[in-house]
Amino acid sequence: MREGGRAHSKFGANLRAIGDTRRFLTEAFIMQSFRRHTGVVVPLDKVNVDTDQIIPKQFLKRIERTGFGEFLFNDWRFAADGKEIRDFVLHQPRYLKASILVAGKNFGCGSSREHAVWALMDFGFRVVIASSFADIFANNSLKNGLLTVRLTDQEVAEITRRSKETTDYALTVDLEKMRVEDGKDFAAHFVMDEFSRHCLLNGLDDIGLTLQHEADITAYETKHPVRAEMKATLA
C-alpha cells in the first residue's frame, strides 16, 4: 500500500474511534440526578480515609464504572486469606442496607483515582457526610452524582453517635433545601456552591453540560460540513 493510502486508512480509523467514543460516553454514562434521599446511616469513625483504603490499587483494572463495590474498603473488610473481618462496621447486619456514610474529616484524601467514587456508589451509597473532604475526591463525586455533605465536627459526631446507638438510624438529605434531618430532633443545614448544586439536581456531568448545547453544536456542524468520506466514518 502506498504511504498516502496508509495515512488515509489510519486517519479513517481514528475518526471511527472518535465516533465510537462519543457514542459510548453519551449512552453509557448517564449521571443520576440527586434531589432528596432517605437512607440508613453507617458510621465509619475514622479520619483521613484515603482513596487507597476506599479502593486498593490492585482492583483498578476495570475500565467500566461498575463492579468496584465488592472491593470497597477491601483491606478493612477482608483478611489476607479472604475471610471477612466480622467486626468491621459494613459487615454488621444492622448496616447492610445503609446508603449514607458518615466519616471523619479529610475523607477521600490521597490519590486522585475516580474509582473511589465508583466503588462507593456501586456499593450502594448516595451520600457521604463528613466535616471536610479532599478537593479532588469532592470534585469526582460531583461529576458522578455522589453527594458530599459538609457539616461541622459537632454535627458529624452527633450523627455518628446516633447511628451507633440507634438501630436503623436514618437521615433524609434534601439537596433542594440543603438540609439534613432525622425526622426527630436532629437537623442541620449544609452549603454548596450554586453551580454544583444545579449539576446534581439535574444530573449533569461534563458531558451532560456539553449536550445542553447540542442544538448549537449541530448548527455549527451544519454550517461547516465535513467531506463525505469523513462523515461516513463518523456515522
Of 54 and 61, more confident: 54
Do residues 123 and 16 both lie within one domain? no
| CB of 182 closer than 8 Å to CB of 155 | no
Domain membership of residue 210 (yes or no) is: no
| CB of 66 closer than 8 Å to CB of 53 | no
| CB of 75 closer than 8 Å to CB of 139 | no
pLDDT in tens, 179-222: 999 999 999 999 999 999 998 998 877 666 566 556 767 777 77
Domain membership of residue 211 (yes or no) is: no
Domain membership of residue 145 (yes or no) is: yes
Query: How does residue 100 score in pLDDT terms, banded at 50, 70 and 90?
Result: very high
Domain membership of residue 209 (yes or no) is: no
Task: State how far the Cα of 137 lies from the Cα of 144, in Å rounded to an integer.
Answer: 11
Task: State how far the Cα of 10 lies from the Cα of 15, in Å rounded to an integer.
Answer: 9
Do residues 18 and 52 both lie within one domain? no
Do residues 88 and 47 both lie within one domain? yes
Do residues 161 and 220 both lie within one domain? no
pLDDT in tens, 124-145: 999 999 999 999 999 999 999 9
Cα 74 to Cα 80, 96, 150, 173, 177: the distances in Å are: 10, 16, 25, 27, 35
How many domains, the chain? 2
When the pLDDT of each residue in the chain is averaged and rounded to a whole number, the result is: 85
Do residues 80 and 129 both lie within one domain? yes
> Residue 46's pLDDT is what?
97
Task: State how far the Cα of 83 lies from the Cα of 9, in Å rounded to an integer.
Answer: 52
Q: In this structure, which amino acid lies at residue 195?
A: F
Query: How does residue 33 score in pLDDT terms, banded at 50, 70 and 90?
Result: confident
Instruction: Please report, for the domain that includes residue 166, its CATH number.
Output: 3.20.19.10
Task: State how far the Cα of 192 lies from the Cα of 208, in Å rounded to an integer.
Answer: 20
Do residues 65 and 141 both lie within one domain? yes
Do residues 62 and 159 both lie within one domain? yes
Task: State how far the Cα of 55 lies from the Cα of 1, in Å rounded to an integer.
Answer: 48
Task: State how far the Cα of 235 lies from the Cα of 232, in Å rounded to an integer.
Answer: 5
Domain membership of residue 100 (yes or no) is: yes
Do residues 51 and 15 both lie within one domain? no
Domain membership of residue 81 (yes or no) is: yes
> Residue 54: what are its φ and ψ, rounded to 5°?
-65, -50
Residue 164, CB-side half-sphere exposure with 13 Å CA sphere: 13
| CB of 179 closer than 8 Å to CB of 187 | yes
Do residues 125 and 9 both lie within one domain? no
Query: How does residue 55 score in pLDDT terms, banded at 50, 70 and 90?
Result: very high
Residue range(s) defining the domain that contains residue 181: 36-204
Q: Note if the pTM is more than 0.75.
A: yes
What's the distance, Cα to Cα, between the start and end of the chain in Å? 26
Do residues 80 and 110 both lie within one domain? yes
In terms of Cβ atoms closer than 10 Å to its own Cβ (0-12, 13-18, 19+), residue 14 is exposed
Task: State how far the Cα of 13 lies from the Cα of 27, in Å rounded to an integer.
Answer: 21
3-state secondary structure of 197: helix
Do residues 175 and 103 both lie within one domain? yes
Instruction: Give 71-104 as a 3 state SS string.
Output: HCCHHHHECCCCCECCCCHHHCHHHCCCCEEEEC
Domain membership of residue 142 (yes or no) is: yes
Do residues 77 and 10 both lie within one domain? no
Domain membership of residue 9 (yes or no) is: yes
